[in-house]
Structure 1
Amino acid sequence: MLTRALIVVLAILNLGVALWWMLRGEPAPAPPPPTTGVAQLQLLPATASAPPGASIASTPAAALDDVTPAPVPPPPAAAQAQAPTAESPAATAVAPAPVAAPPAPAPAVAQAPAPVPAAPAQCVSLGPFTDRAAAQAAQAKAGGTLRGARLREVADAGATRYRVVLPAAASREDAQATVKRIVAAGLSDYYIIANGEETNAIALGQYRNREGAERRMAALSAAGFNARLIASGGDGSAQWWLDATLAPPADASAARQRSGAALQRSLDCARVR
């Protein structure tokens, strides 16, 4: 019986606690925390009356009281930086690492002046002389103004016309083949002799002076053609010329005056070698 009584008592107590929990009111919410930096509104007691002479417009301004604490100014930088003591590790002064000096510029290497190219050789032909002995005497007089001098005989000194001719070919076809080679070498002024003693020979120009004919022969020789010079209209007398290379700094005029020659002519140095 006692056990049944205890069970009934416990059931009644649990039922009472459940009813109390269901019927209790909701707890009032906690007021929000005050906002920092914003003025707080304080309510005055209802019984307090406004002081005499105070206007209604000034009452709200008086009622508002800023309770925000004034910001504390930061300490000066000098105060924040505390001097290290002898006991603290910061007291040991750290010497800055030495800055490496920039490398000294390498001394400029003096460049040797560029060699001056040698002036091209100049060759000259001095004359005319009546015989070989006169040409040899002129060579001795010229002395050091000439180098590599040689004597040259001109058998047709009185000629009035000079022709440059290639020897006659064996046939017309051979002559025409030679003409094709002449054209391929970039040369002009030619024709094939059709009759006479020089049939199938190739004429390559006719000149009034020997210098022009010799220049034509030099061009043909450079292209690989063996031409010959034929003079006509002269008396058959011979002349001698002195061909040489000018020794610097002598010029053609000085060499001509020293040798006693009447004329001086420019000469291709390839003919002197």
Structure 2
Amino acid sequence: MLTRALIVVLVILNLGVALWWLLRGEPVSEPPASPVGVAQLEVLPPTQAPPAAATPTNNAPALQDVTPASAPAATAAPVGQPPVTPDLPPTAVAATPAPAATAPAVAPGPAAAPAVAPPAPVAPPAAPAQCVSLGPFADRATAQAAQSRAGSALRTARLREVADAGATRYRVLLPPAASREEAQATVKRIVAAGVSDYYIISQGEETHAIALGQYRNREGAERRLAALSAAGFKAKMVASGGDGSAQWWLDATLAAGTEAAAARQRSGAAQQRSLECARVR
């Protein structure tokens, strides 16, 4: 009897445990503790759905969707329900500072061109000086009177005496050397200086002299003398064929704007000859 009673009790206990196991609910887990300082989100119960749009009748034209395909579809939140903010970590909910208002960049205007001073007027080049020789005059007093009559037509002037004015030719030569060998040595120096037209006189009073040219006018002979003097030779000019009389000439630089013919008429000279201005200074 006792054994049977124990068996019945065990069966009843087993049935009770099985019934409890079947009737127990799912274990409810407690929500995790929210971080300190972060507000909790509460889900509000949904409100009443908005009424459906009225169905257009057969008489009203159907509305067409004119929204551009490229425009993203905006998701409208239900009326009366605030937008749901996702649960973000504490670092993500930090307040974002508002962008500072920046003034629109102003494009710099074109830089003002620096004032350029107009170029100074360039004076026209001065005309080269013109020099003439006026004459001939019989004596020095006559030449001086001619210079006074010319006056302002002449800028600078000097008197020049020409000895043996009636000469028909002029010779340029170096004085006779002591011997022919010395004359030949001088010729070598003349050739080295680039001087041509020379010969050694071998007879007469001018034996061993070196002739350096014969000219029909005095001006040519004087130019030859100047060239030899520049080369370092002391030559002389000898006139021949004249009566021994002398003449005076007025060598002058013309004033600006004065013609040679006008200066000759004012001075009363019979002739005018072109002259190198270097001989007037």
Given the two structures, how large is their TM-score scaled by the length of structure 1? 0.63
Partner of 2:143: 135
User: Is the counterpart of residue 221 in structure 1 residue 229 in structure 2?
Assistant: yes
User: Is the counterpart of residue 261 in structure 1 residue 257 in structure 2?
Assistant: no
Partner of 2:29: none
What displacement does 1:90 show?
Answer: 7.2
Would the alpha carbon gap of residues 121 and 221 (structure 1) be closer, same or farther in structure 2, given more than 3 Å must change?
Answer: farther
Partner of 1:156: 164
- Structure 2: gaps (5+ residues): 1-67, 74-95
After alignment, is 217-226 or 128-137 more displaced? 217-226
1:222 partner amino acid = A
What displacement does 1:109 show?
Answer: 2.8
After alignment, is 110-119 or 161-170 more displaced? 110-119
Counterpart-to-counterpart distance in 1, 2:280 and 2:254:
11
1:73 partner amino acid = A
| 2:111 pairs with one of 85, 97, 103 | 103
Aligned residue for 2:142, secondary structure, equals helix
The superposition leaves residues 90-136 of structure 1 with CA deviations (integer Å, 9 ceiling, x where unpaired) of 79764321122232111223222344443332221110111222111
Give identity over the alignment, percent: 74
What displacement does 1:264 show?
Answer: 0.7
User: Is the counterpart of residue 146 in structure 1 residue 139 in structure 2?
Assistant: no
User: Is the counterpart of residue 74 in structure 1 residue 70 in structure 2?
Assistant: yes
Counterpart-to-counterpart distance in 2, 1:76 and 1:133:
121
1:137 partner amino acid = A
Would the alpha carbon gap of residues 123 and 181 (structure 1) be closer, same or farther in structure 2, given more than 3 Å must change?
Answer: farther
2:164 partner amino acid = D
Backbone CA RMSD of aligned residues: 2.9
2:117 partner amino acid = V
Matches for 1:21-100 after TM superposition, within 5 Å = 73-75=69-71, 94-100=102-108
Counterpart-to-counterpart distance in 2, 1:268 and 1:252:
14
1:266 partner amino acid = S
The superposition leaves residues 226-246 of structure 1 with CA deviations (integer Å, 9 ceiling, x where unpaired) of 221111111112211111111
User: Is the counterpart of residue 112 in structure 1 residue 105 in structure 2?
Assistant: no
1:245 partner amino acid = T
What displacement does 1:191 show?
Answer: 1.0
Aligned residue for 2:232, secondary structure, equals coil
Partner of 2:62: none
After alignment, is 152-161 or 102-111 more displaced? 102-111
Partner of 2:254: 246
What displacement does 1:250 show?
Answer: 1.2
- Structure 1: gaps (5+ residues): 1-71, 78-87
Counterpart-to-counterpart distance in 2, 1:166 and 1:118:
41
After alignment, is 213-222 or 132-141 more displaced? 213-222
Partner of 1:62: none
Counterpart-to-counterpart distance in 2, 1:268 and 1:163:
21
What displacement does 1:138 show?
Answer: 0.8
Counterpart-to-counterpart distance in 1, 2:113 and 2:179:
80
Partner of 1:231: 239
Matches for 1:163-182 after TM superposition, within 5 Å = 163-182=171-190
The superposition leaves residues 184-226 of structure 1 with CA deviations (integer Å, 9 ceiling, x where unpaired) of 3322111111222212211111111222212222222232322
Counterpart-to-counterpart distance in 1, 2:133 and 2:139:
16
Counterpart-to-counterpart distance in 2, 1:192 and 1:202:
5
What displacement does 1:255 show?
Answer: 0.9
Would the alpha carbon gap of residues 124 and 114 (structure 1) be closer, same or farther in structure 2, given more than 3 Å must change?
Answer: same
Given the two structures, how large is their TM-score scaled by the length of structure 2? 0.62
